[in-house]
Amino acid sequence: MGSIDFNQLYREHSQRLHYIAYSYAKDRFIAEDIVQEAFLKAYKKLETVEDSNKLGAWLSAITARTAIDFLRMEKRKNWMLVDPSIMEPMIGRSEASVNLEEEVGLRLFNEEVIQTMGCLSKEFQEVLILKIHYGLKENEIASLLDLKSATVKTRLYRARKQLKHVFAEKESA
């Protein structure tokens, strides 16, 4: 394939890619970030394109996948470690019915979880922070900390169990 002018490529496709990203993110600024990330990915793999007539579709696919990845990552970041018995009453409610008091309560609970994590051992804190805050999978945590995957799973299980125990003690007090 011949040489591609990346600036021309951006001018031709950026508006449509912003539309695609916005359709997933529902936020203009996040959509801009997604499009920038998609163009970075495309730039790195530009030499793999065999048919220049399909560049638009290729860029659209990259943008859609990048938007989905971004939304998954955001969902993991906002995920809270919660005992299912605490969350059951909230399941089934629509987002529109969540009022300010409930939102404040959830944020306070999230802060309490983070503070309570300080009571855990360093090993348990490491795996929980990587899992909850950064959204990493067990195998990613294992490679990052140079541990076996089974060790990470065990530490996560034990850390969650200790957190539940500490919360149970707080509730009974």
Per-block mean pLDDT, blocks of 10 residues, the chain (173 long):
75 92 89 93 86 86 90 72 52 54 77 79 84 82 88 90 82 71
Helices 138-145, 149-172: axis angle to 10 degrees equals 110
As a whole number of angstroms, the distance between CA 97 and CA 38 comes to: 35
Residues 6+ apart with CB under 8 A from 156: 127, 128, 131, 138
118 DSSP 8-state letter: T
Whether the model clears a pTM of 0.85, i.e. scores above it, the answer is no
The answer to whether residue 121 sits within a structural domain is yes
Residue 28 neighbours by CB under 8 Å, 6+ apart: 22
Query: Residue 1 falls within a domain, yes or no?
Result: no
The pLDDT score that the predictor gives to residue 12 is 92
66: domain CATH number is 1.10.1740.10
Last residue of a domain, one of 48, 77, 106: 77
pLDDT of residue 172: 75
Residues 6+ apart with CB under 8 A from 91: none
